[in-house]
Amino acid sequence: MTNPKTMRIGMILDNEYLVDARVPNEARYLAQHGHEIYVLCINFDNRPHLETVEGVNIVRFDMSRGRKNRLFGIVNTFPLYNWIWAVEIKRFIINYKIETLHAHDLYMAKPVFLTNLQLRLPITLDLHENYPAAVKGYTWANTFPWKILVRPGRWKKKEHRYLSYADNIVVLSEAFRQTLCNEYPNLVTKKFAIYPNVPDVDWFLSLPVDRSISEHKTGFVLFYFGVIGIRRGMVSCFEALKQLIPNIPEIRLMLMGPVDKADQPLFNQYLNDPSIKEHIIYHPWKDVKELPSYIMASDICLAPFINSPQHDSGIANKVFQYMLFERPVLLSNSKPHQMLVDETHCGSIFKDTDVNDLTNTVLKMYHDPEMCRKMGLNGKKAVIEKYNLETAGKELDKLYR
């Protein structure tokens, strides 16, 4: 019996290759299962224009981060960004004899479509999030003068047309697929794959753990990893910290990640607030290879996002990463979070933006370490058995066979 057909897949990514774990995870999985993977991405940091990383061929073209941000920011007003990408994608397809295209994020559907008008290659559109909902939550995109140039409301108007360009659509959850099909009934004829933001278990467990971080930690640590901003629920965390300090004097809020530029002034106010600043540990960033060490040095791991259609589309990478390293999670009550906790008993839920509920839930977990230990074990079990790259990747492989 012959093996099912494998493909030469061209992934299109408007970022550096390793910025979002979802992309290398998918690329590596498909490469390991026989497909030839080429990724066209931007070269921000003077890296090689062509290199092979873990069996994946990375093709880069130069563009500064500032120029990319400016051109993408005004793409709804002046679409030069799409035209630049269309030229690069056509060259990429011809040079590497690409057989099918895999575009990451809704907004890359347009330049792929422009390139593909004559070539007629199959297109897979990989939705990392509910982008029209996400951009409405970005502070910078909704303040003057960017609001006039970005036109965030236009993304919702474009969503249906961009989705129609694709033959296959990859989404974060079954709930997100149902939402899209209910809103746009013609999408039921498309092929969908459900691919959550799951970790590569073998890779993460192979990383060395710096035990000295745990040994030198002080107090009861709440840990958050990722982009920091109002939409991520950080205000609730700071306000809850004020209420928690009298009850848990040794409490620490450890944050790791970049701050949304538009939210930086508010973040600085909290960081310098005399009532809480001694209880905050802030790392602007750490290499993801250090993440297990910091997760294991924490007591509770947070995903306190403000509820929105964006956060109802799926679960962030960080949640499954927390779970893999046996830490109880404390999550806001989005639909996917609630479903995950109900299914796996990996943590607790609080009502988003409700500071009192967040405070009371932390206190309950603090006073029941045995419950937290069991939550951590349940979470790891769920990731090992279900929420991992090897299991979720099978859906992607099916699309291309």
Half-sphere exposure of 254 (CA within 13 A, CB side): 24
Instruction: Specify the pLDDT at position 2.
Output: 38
Helix (H, G, I), strand (E, B) or coil at 27: helix
Cβ atoms of 195 and 396 closer than 8 Å? yes
The residue type found at 378 is: N
Half-sphere exposure of 43 (CA within 13 A, CB side): 12
Residues in the chain where the model's pLDDT stays below 70? 1-4, 140-141, 146
pLDDT tens digits for range 76-111: 889 999 999 999 999 999 999 999 999 999 999 999
Q: 120: alpha, beta or left, given left = phi > 0 and alpha = psi -120 to 50?
A: left
Instruction: Specify the pLDDT at position 262.
Output: 86
Distances from the Cα of 222 to the Cα of 141, 242, 323, 337, 370, angstroms = 30, 13, 14, 18, 17
How large a percentage of the chain has pLDDT more than 70?
A: 98
Instruction: Specify the pLDDT at position 286.
Output: 87
Instruction: Specify the pLDDT at position 1.
Output: 31
pTM: 0.88
